[in-house]
Amino acid sequence: MERIELSRSIPKIEFRLSAANSSLFLEKVYFKRLSENEISIPWTDFALSVELRAKLSYTIYDDLKGCFVDERTEEILIPLAPDIYQSEPVIQLNQRIENRLFTVGLNSKQRHFNRLSMEVCNSETLSEDYVLDFIIEKKRTMSWIDNKRYSSKPPIGIRGLYLMKKENWTMAHRVECYWFEDECSCDICGKRIIERHMIDGKRAASSEFALMCAWCHKKEGGLFGDGLGQLYTRMNSNRWLLTFGFTDDQLAEFGDEDDDDDENDC
């Protein structure tokens, strides 16, 4: 059993569902009052004013073209109905939100939802005085919220998946090297880089370095390593963290892995 809190300042939590049988069990919710403010509303009134919504979602990309196709979502309303004669500020929920399978495309591929969010929807009307403290149990479910040390940005297409597999988080957290800007555009195609990855790398036919999107980097040779290319991953904090293609100095200081590579496997 674990606890998660939702409040006016953090009205939403997101989980990653790793399998078709992932689930989240909501056992109960405590209404914690933060202050002893005399004028704050009773917890029962507060509970009735709050709407809790769970949303299963799956973003579909065309793996071959790497483009966004569709998003499937399914919403579940979780009623918070207090017993008005009850004095203890807690509601027993005993609700299990289970992942499920659905079919995609003409050849009916089976997929499962890969994200689950829980959100207090009318959060702007929430009293600052209350925090919803849930007792939950996760099965094959990973939490993303407050995890600014990681990235929840989904990879796009085969190239995105390939690059994601290259990410070395042990080294990334040891080196902790962020790109100096949060917003970047690709020097080759000129598009703003909104995907999971950005590469500061060498262009194929010159010694010139360029900031590149994943696709242009592939066209420019797709190499990583000291003097070749550094892979940056978009973090939940919105910053770009160096996750692969560490320099020789960084490798000497923080690790002994040889992470130069060549482009044979993608």
Of residues 216 and 251, the one with the C-beta less far from Zn ion: 216
Least CB distance to Zn ion at residue 190 (A): 7
* C-beta atoms surrounding 28 within 10 Å: 14
Rounded to 5°, the CA angle 255-171-259 comes to 70
Least CB distance to Zn ion at residue 69 (A): 21
Of residues 213 and 251, the one with the C-beta less far from Zn ion: 213
Least CB distance to Zn ion at residue 193 (A): 8
Of residues 32 and 218, the one with the C-beta less far from Zn ion: 218
- In angstroms, the CA 11 to CA 37 distance is 22
| Residues at the site binding Zn ion, with contacts judged by CB under 5 A | 186, 188-189, 213, 216
User: What are the residues whose beta carbons fall under 8 Å from the beta carbon of 21, sequence distance 6 or more?
Assistant: 98, 99, 139, 140
Of residues 19 and 266, the one with the C-beta less far from Zn ion: 266
Least CB distance to Zn ion at residue 263 (A): 17
- In angstroms, the CA 91 to CA 66 distance is 45
Cα–Cα separations (whole angstroms), residue 37 to 34, 42, 80, 219, 245: 9, 11, 23, 62, 54
